[in-house]
Structure 1
Amino acid sequence: MAIDTAKADPGEAREDRPRPRRLVGSRLGALILALNLLSLLILFVGALALNEWRRGLIEARQDALTAQAELLAKVLGDREATQGVPYPALDPYEAGLVLRDTFVPRNQRARLYDADGALVIDSYEVSDTIPGRPLEPARPAGSPPAEVDPEQTRRESAKLEEARMALAGEVEAALTGEPQAQLRRSESGDRVVSVSIPVRHVEKVLGVLTLEAADVDEILAAQRAALMPFAIVALVVSLFSSLLLHLFVARPVMRLSAAADSVRLAQTRAISLPDLEERRDEIGDLARSLETMTRALSDRMEAIERFAADVSHEIKNPLTSIRSALETLPLVKAEAQREKLTALLQQDVRRLDRLITDISNASRLDAELARDRPRTLDLAALLTDIVDVYRTSAKPGDVPLELTLETTGPTRIIGRDGPLGQVVRNLIDNARSFSPPDGSVRITLDRPGEGSPTLRIRVEDDGPGIPEENLETVFQRFYTSRPKGTVFGTNSGLGLSIVRQIVEAHGGEVRAENIVDPDSPDRVAGARFTVTLPTRA
C-alpha cells in the first residue's frame, strides 16, 4: 500500500540519512548572530568614527578661534588701545574702535574684560548685531495678558545664571595668564565654542579677550548627517538579515506546519519536502525528523490495519464453527453425536480464548517495550529460572526440558527480562507442542565464536520439522500450519511473531532451521530456533 505524503515539490521522499553532528554550534544561529553583529558593528564603528570627527571639528574650531583671539589680543595690547604710564591699562574707547574696525563674523561674539574681570566692551554693542531671540508676534488689542509659567521662568533664570557663572569662571582663569578654551552654554542657551586669551602689554595682563562661536549646532548637525550613511547601511543589513530569516526560517517552518496540518487532517500519511530535507542546518534536521516520524506512524498505522484484518479473519473461523455447531446441536438425536458436537464447541471456545489472549498480548507488546527500560540482566540465570519453573510445574506426559550452558564467560546483556522471558517461554511451548511424548526439548546457551560480542540461545525439539518453504513464514502472524496428529486449535499463530518482534527490539535476530539426522541426511530429526542477542560484558 502506497503512503500519501504532504509535500510542496514533486518527487519521492528520500532515504533516511543520519543527522550530521556539528562540533561548532548551529548554522542558523551562527548566521543570525553574524548578521546582527554586523549591523551593530557598523553602527559602533560609525559612532566611534563620528565621535572622533566631532571632537576633531570642535578642536579645530577652538584652534581657529584661539589664533584669531591671539591676533586680536596682540592688537589690543598695543599702545593704541592702552593708556597710562608707567602703569598701562585698557582704553575702553580705543578698544571699542579696534573691535568695531576688526572683522568679527556674525556667528561670533567678542567681549573684552579689564584686569578686574569687569566687562569693558562687547562686539554686539559696536556692531548692528542684536543678541537674543526674536520677539513673539504682537497680540491683538484687548487680548488678555499672556500667562507666565513661574516654573519655566525659574528654570530659564537658573540656566542664565549658570551660563554667566561659566563665563565668569573662564575669564577668571584667563586672568591668571593662561589661555582658556571650552564648550559651554551661552546666555541664550545655545552651545558655543569659547576661548579666552589674556591681553598683555609687555608682560602685564591688562585684561581678557573672549571669543565665542555659536556654530556648534551646525557642527553637530553635520555630524548627524555624516552618521546617516552608517545608519542606512546598518538598516539595510538588518532588513537583509530579516529577509534571510523569513526566507530560510519562517517560510520553511510555515511549510512544515502546513504539511503537518495535512497529516493531522488525514489528507496525507507522511511529510515529504525534499528541498528542505537536503538542507544541512536545523531546518533540514527538523524536516528529516518530521518525515521519519510521520513515516514511522504511517507504517505503524498500516501494521495496525493489517493486524486488525488478520484478527477479524482469525476470530471469524472459530465463531463460524461455534455457530454451525449450535445450529446443528438441536437437530442431533444420537447422544454420541451430541457429545462430539459439545467437545467441538469446547475446543472452539478454548481456541477462541487462547486467540483473544494472544491478540491482547501482541497488541500490548509495543507499549510494554516502550515503558520497560532496558537494564543489565544475566541471561544464564534467566534461562535457569524459566526451566526450573517448567520442571516444577510439569505434569505426567509433559515433554521434558534439558538446559545446557556452554559458555564460561559473562552472560550479561542489556535488555528487558519480562519480554525476553516471554521469548524463551514461547519457543519452549512451541517446541513442546511439536515434540513426541518420548522426545525432549533442549535449550542451549553459548557464544557463536570465541570472543564473540553476542550470546546465542538455541531451542531444539524432536518433532517433524518445518517445511523448507516455511522457514521464514512461521514468524508471520497467525501462521498455524501444523502436521497431522497435533491437536487443532491449541496455537494461535502469534507466538513466533511475538518472538521476532521482541528479539528485533533488543537488536538481535531469530531464525528457524531443521535438524538433519546424521545417520540419514534425507531425514529431518526436528526443528531448531536460534536467537542471537548482543552482549554487554
Structure 2
Amino acid sequence: MLDTVSSKTPESQIAQGDGLPLAAEEAELFWTARISLRARILAVNVFAIAVLAGSFFYLDNYRNTLLISRQADDERQVAAAVRAYDLVPEPMRADLMTEVAQLNNFRVRVYAENGIKLIDTFSFNEPTYELRDPDKEPLKRHVARFLDRSIDTIVRAPRRERFVEPDNDRLSAWDEVVIAAETGEPVTRARYAPDRTFMLSAAAKAPQSGHVMLITRNARTITAIVRDQRLALGIIIACVLIVSVLLSLFLARTIVKPLALLAGAANRVRLGRERDVEVPRLPERGDEIGQLARALSDMTEALRKRIDATESFAADVSHEIKNPLASLRSALEGLERVEDPKLRKQLHDIACSDVLRLDRLITDISEASRVDAQLARTRFEPIDMGEVIDQLLKTREERDLNHGREIAFARPRKGVAVVMGEGTRLARVIDNLLDNAVSFSPEKGLVEIVATRDRNQVLIRIMDNGPGVPESQREAIFHRFHSYRDEQEEFGQHSGLGLAIARSIIEAHEGQLIATDRPDGARGAHFCISLPAMLAPKPIIGSGLKDER
C-alpha cells in the first residue's frame, strides 16, 4: 500500500549552516509615537526652512550696521562743517550752510552760545526732506511698519524715541546739542520719524565762534534697504517652503499611501472576514516598500495555503478517525448481544484491529502535524546520507522489518552524498520509502537503493519490483490519507500519511521527492529524492541518526 502527502503542504524555508534568525531591533519613538508618518516627513522638511527663516529676523544686525555707518558719516560731516563755518566771514555762513544742506540732504541749524537759533536752512531755502504722515500712506506701508515692530519685538531691538520738532527751537531743546556745547565733541542721535523711518542728527561746536551746529536728515534709505532685503528673503523662503511642502506631500504620498494599503490588507487578513484578500504586490516599485509589499503578499499566500492545508487536514483526520471508531463501536455493541464464542472472538479481533489502526493513525497524524514546526526550529548539520542509509539498513535487518525481502545498497564513498539537514528526519523518509517498497515487493523480492551526487544535488533512488505506481496516481499518492493498494490487502493497514510525511520533510530540506518509472525500464516503483549537496567543506557530524524506535 502506498502512502501520500497533501499537495497543499506549504513550503518551509529552513535556514542552513550557522546562520541564525536576526532579532528585530525595537526603536522607541518617545514623543513622536503618536505622530503620523506624513506629519513627521512634513515637520522634518519644514524644520530646515524654519532654520533658514531665522535669518529673516537677523536682518536687524544688517540694519544696525548701516545705521552705525551713516551716523559715523554724519559725525564726520558735522565736524568738517563747523570747521568751515569758522573759516568764512559771518555774512557768507548762511550761504555755506545752504550749500552743505543741499549737497547732503541735511537740515542745518546753528545756535548761539545763549541758545538762540542763528541759522536754519529750511527757513530760507527749499526743505531737503519731508516727514510723512503715516495716516495718509497706503495699506502696504502700514503692513511694513507692523512687520518692523513685530521683528523688533522678537529680536529685542533697542527702543528708540520719536523725532518731534520742538515748539520752541532753541539749543536747549536738543539734548545732543546741549552735550556738544558742553563737551566740545561731536554727538549723534538716531530717532524714529512718524512713519518709523530713521531720523539721524549730529551736533558739533565750532571751536572759534563757540556756536553749535545741528544737522538732521531723514535716512529713509536704511529702512527701504532693510525692507527690500526682507521682502526678497521672504519671497525666497516662501517659494522654498511651498516647494518643500509639495515635495514632502509627494514623499508622504509615495510612502504613506502604499503603507496604508498594505496595512488595510493586513488588517483584513487578520479579521479573516474575506476569504481571498489580495495584498498589493506593487510590482512597479523597486524600493524597500515594494520589497515589503511583495514579502507581505508572499507571506499572506503562504499563510492562506497553510490555513487551507490545516482545514483540509482537520477534515481528513475527522473522516479517517470516524471509520475505525464506527467499526469499533459496532464490534463492541455486537459483543453484548452475541453468545456464539466463534462470533464473539471474531468481533473481539475486529475491535483489537480497530484499536491498533487508531493507534497507528493517531501516531502518524501527530508526526505529520508537528514535522513542519519542528524542522523550522532545527539547526541543520552536515549529514552523510550514505552512512544514514547504512545504519538504517542494519537496524531494519536486526528487527526483521524487511519481511524476507532483500535490500541492495550501493553505498557511495564517504563525503560524496553529504547534505545539510536533520539526520533523524531524513532517516524517517528513507524508512517510510523502504516500508512502502517492502509492502509492495513480492516475497523474496529485491529493493535497490542508490545514493549518488549529480553536480550540486544528492540523488537517492529507491526501486522495487512490485506492481509500480500508475502515472495517474504519481502525484495523488503524496496527498494526506490517500492510499493506493491492492484489492486483496486488508483495509486499514496503513494510515495514508507515510509518503505525505516523507515529502514534507524533504521539502523542508529544500529538496524534492517524486515517483517515476524505473530508469532501467523494469517493472516496479521508483522513488527519487533530490537534496541540495553541501558545497562548503565542513566537518561531517556522523549520520545524525537517532534510534527512535
Q: How would you bin the TM-score normalised by the shorter chain?
A: 0.5 to 0.7
Q: In structure 2, do the counterparts of structure 1 residues 197 and 185 end up closer, same or farther at CA, with 3 Å as the change threshold?
A: closer
**Cα deviation code 1:340-371 (max 9, x no counterpart):** 22222222221121111111111112211222
- Find the aligned partners of 1:382 and 1:128 in 2 and give their Cα distance: 120
The residue type paired with residue 295 of structure 1 is E
Shift of residue 530, structure 1, vs aligned partner: 1.3
1:464 aligned residue = 467
2:20 aligned residue = none
Q: In structure 2, do the counterparts of structure 1 residues 345 and 129 end up closer, same or farther at CA, with 3 Å as the change threshold?
A: farther
Shift of residue 476, structure 1, vs aligned partner: 1.7
Q: In structure 2, do the counterparts of structure 1 residues 349 and 45 end up closer, same or farther at CA, with 3 Å as the change threshold?
A: closer
Aligned residues: 438
**Cα deviation code 1:258-297 (max 9, x no counterpart):** 3333222222134325485544444433333332222222
1:501 aligned residue = 504
- Find the aligned partners of 1:288 and 1:131 in 2 and give their Cα distance: 85
Matched, 1:529 2:527: yes
Contact 1:423/1:498, CA 8 A, preserved across alignment: yes
Q: In structure 2, do the counterparts of structure 1 residues 395 and 362 end up closer, same or farther at CA, with 3 Å as the change threshold?
A: closer
**Cα deviation code 1:159-212 (max 9, x no counterpart):** xxxx99xxx9xx99x97xxx999x9999xxx9979798988989xxx9998979
**Cα deviation code 1:113-153 (max 9, x no counterpart):** xxxxxxxxxx9798489989xxxxxxxxxxxxxxxxxxxxx
Contact 1:269/1:298, CA 8 A, preserved across alignment: no
Higher mean C-alpha deviation, range 393-402 or range 416-425: 393-402
- Equivalent runs, 1:25-64 vs 2, <5 Å: 55=62
Which of 475, 488, 494 is matched with 2:478 structurally? 475
RMSD, aligned α-carbons: 4.9
Contact 1:270/1:295, CA 8 A, preserved across alignment: no
Q: In structure 2, do the counterparts of structure 1 residues 493 and 96 end up closer, same or farther at CA, with 3 Å as the change threshold?
A: same
- Equivalent runs, 1:336-485 vs 2, <5 Å: 336-394=342-400, 397=403, 399-407=405-413, 409-448=415-454, 452-483=455-486
Contact 2:481/2:496, CA 8 A, preserved across alignment: yes
- Find the aligned partners of 2:53 and 2:339 in 1 and give their Cα distance: 110
Shift of residue 333, structure 1, vs aligned partner: 4.2
- Find the aligned partners of 2:166 and 2:235 in 1 and give their Cα distance: 39
Q: In structure 2, do the counterparts of structure 1 residues 126 and 80 end up closer, same or farther at CA, with 3 Å as the change threshold?
A: farther
Shift of residue 407, structure 1, vs aligned partner: 4.3
Shift of residue 248, structure 1, vs aligned partner: 3.2
Shift of residue 496, structure 1, vs aligned partner: 0.6
2:10 aligned residue = none
SS in 1 for 2:525: strand
Shift of residue 391, structure 1, vs aligned partner: 2.9
- Find the aligned partners of 2:173 and 2:85 in 1 and give their Cα distance: 31
Contact 1:61/1:193, CA 8 A, preserved across alignment: no
The residue type paired with residue 508 of structure 2 is A
Q: TM-score, normalised by structure 2?
A: 0.64
Q: In structure 2, do the counterparts of structure 1 residues 195 and 47 end up closer, same or farther at CA, with 3 Å as the change threshold?
A: farther
Which of 244, 250, 253 is matched with 1:247 structurally? 253
Shift of residue 460, structure 1, vs aligned partner: 2.5
- Find the aligned partners of 1:329 and 1:294 in 2 and give their Cα distance: 52
Bigger relative contact order, structure 1 or 2, given CA contacts below 8 A and separation 6+? Answer: 2
Shift of residue 495, structure 1, vs aligned partner: 0.5
Which of 308, 333, 336 is matched with 2:314 structurally? 308
SS in 1 for 2:530: strand
Q: In structure 2, do the counterparts of structure 1 residues 199 and 269 end up closer, same or farther at CA, with 3 Å as the change threshold?
A: farther
- Find the aligned partners of 1:395 and 1:377 in 2 and give their Cα distance: 24
Q: Provide structure 1 residue ranges, at least 5 long, that are not aligned to the other structure.
A: 1-30, 84-89, 108-122, 133-162
SS in 2 for 1:97: strand
- Find the aligned partners of 1:129 and 1:432 in 2 and give their Cα distance: 131
Q: TM-score, normalised by structure 1?
A: 0.65
SS in 1 for 2:393: helix
The residue type paired with residue 501 of structure 2 is I
- Find the aligned partners of 1:129 and 1:275 in 2 and give their Cα distance: 87
Contact 1:420/1:502, CA 8 A, preserved across alignment: yes
Shift of residue 453, structure 1, vs aligned partner: 0.8
Identity rate, percent: 33
